[in-house]
């Protein structure tokens, strides 16, 4: 793989065409879970004093930022990163970075934090809890695999008071450890892993870093007729932040090396193509931006898609980003191999069937 610094634009565009620029308007995302806003209470008194916390054996290997998110319940991530950068957080009396990993026996100084934080966690509706319970694809004493609904963020953050991980912690209140192994965009549905033991989290993180032992397969419906020869897109990606604060990802020569393998599954004349996408690297919005770069943005994508197409497809019943983490395979530490499939939600399968009836379509075998 060529170096990201030396990779030329000509090389990045090999075997595929740059898409024509098109205006895209942002519209309200439909079919999202409605969560009641929490009542803000006075700051937790425990956060208003200096504390010294011992790192337990089970917390060995945890990043300091994640450790602080647990220690400082309700404190925004932005504030946690700020106190770390300012040196107010110390580990064994030394300054640390947000990605510093803790070791069993470390002593962490947690400074006083004043913030109008949330009181009790947002209560998850019975409907959402039931939906998540029915979405469990696999569960052991160390691992939980969920078919995440579209419209549900993986965790709470700026303007989002409830995410998947917060809901799962209420769904499994007896668990002392429950952490996301990886992420999915809010509007992407499908397979996502949640570790119930730190040893499992460490194993899967290492597997993801090495690119071995974990394989993800996505299905997406894209605009137009995808050429079967466009099977590999090797184009560097870089995150950018607009003046509005919105985060966008672009193909740029000085971006991080990014590779996605694509395969045609089903065509609907020249209107749309159902494709399989396997990301070799794991960059933010990688599949969405690579599809756009190939000239076939994903239908329902409000950020990188074509609004006129999205508007027309909403009439067909596709009212969300048509990107689904359809399958996941993982090799556990003891060598056991697991494979999971997440069914596509019914309204999207119905929309695909309608497209098939309206347009000449066939299965792609090559």
Dist. CA 205–CA 77, nearest whole Å = 21
Q: Residue 277 has which token pair?
A: 């996408």
Dist. CA 55–CA 152, nearest whole Å = 32
Catalytic residues: 185
Angle between helices 77-85 and 64-71 (to 10 degrees): 120
CB atoms within 10 A of CB 185: 19
Dist. CA 261–CA 280, nearest whole Å = 7
Distances from the Cα of 363 to the Cαs of 16, 258, 266, 269, 273, in angstroms?
22, 28, 5, 11, 10
277: left (phi over 0), alpha (psi -120 to 50) or beta: beta
Instruction: Judge contact between 91 and 107, C-beta under 8 A.
Output: yes
Beta-carbon contacts of 92 under 8 Å, excluding residues fewer than 6 positions away, are 106, 107
Instruction: Judge contact between 116 and 43, C-beta under 8 A.
Output: yes
Dist. CA 278–CA 280, nearest whole Å = 6
Q: Which residues of 331-342 are buried (b: 16+ CB within 10 A; e: fewer)?
A: bbeeeeeeebeb
């Amino acid at each position: 793989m060529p170096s990201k610094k030396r990779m030329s634009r000509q090389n990045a565009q090999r075997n595929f065409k740059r898409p024509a620029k098109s205006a895209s308007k942002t519209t309200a995302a439909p079919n999202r879970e409605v969560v009641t806003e929490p009542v803000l209470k006075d700051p937790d008194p425990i956060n208003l004093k200096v504390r010294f916390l011992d790192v337990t054996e089970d917390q060995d290997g945890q990043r300091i930022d994640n450790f602080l998110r647990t220690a400082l319940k309700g404190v925004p991530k932005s504030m946690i990163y700020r106190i770390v950068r300012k040196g107010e957080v110390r580990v064994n009396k030394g300054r640390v970075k947000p990605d510093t990993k803790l070791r069993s026996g470390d002593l962490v100084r947690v400074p006083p934090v004043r913030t109008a934080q949330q009181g009790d966690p947002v209560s998850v509706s019975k409907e959402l809890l039931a939906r998540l319970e029915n979405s469990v694809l696999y569960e052991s004493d160390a691992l939980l695999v969920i078919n995440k609904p579209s419209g549900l963020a993986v965790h709470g953050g700026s303007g989002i008071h409830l995410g998947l991980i917060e809901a799962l912690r209420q769904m499994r209140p007896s668990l002392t450890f429950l952490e996301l192994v990886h992420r999915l965009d809010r509007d992407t549905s499908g397979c996502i892993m949640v570790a119930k033991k730190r040893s499992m989290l460490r194993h899967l993180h290492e597997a993801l870093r090495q690119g071995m032992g974990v394989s993800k397969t996505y299905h997406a419906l894209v605009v137009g007729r995808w050429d079967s020869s466009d099977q590999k897109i090797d184009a560097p990606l870089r995150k950018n932040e607009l003046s509005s604060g919105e985060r966008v990802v672009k193909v740029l020569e000085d971006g991080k090396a990014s590779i996605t393998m694509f395969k045609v599954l089903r065509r609907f004349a020249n209107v749309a193509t159902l494709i399989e996408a396997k990301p070799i690297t794991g960059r933010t919005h990688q599949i969405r931006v690579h599809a756009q770069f190939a000239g076939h943005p994903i239908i329902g994508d409000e950020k990188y898609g074509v609004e006129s197409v999205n508007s027309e497809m909403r009439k067909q019943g596709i009212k969300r980003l048509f990107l689904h983490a359809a399958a996941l395979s993982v090799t556990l530490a003891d060598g056991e191999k697991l494979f999971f499939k997440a069914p596509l939600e019914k309204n999207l399968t119905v929309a695909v069937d309608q497209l098939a009836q309206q347009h000449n379509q066939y299965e792609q075998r090559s």
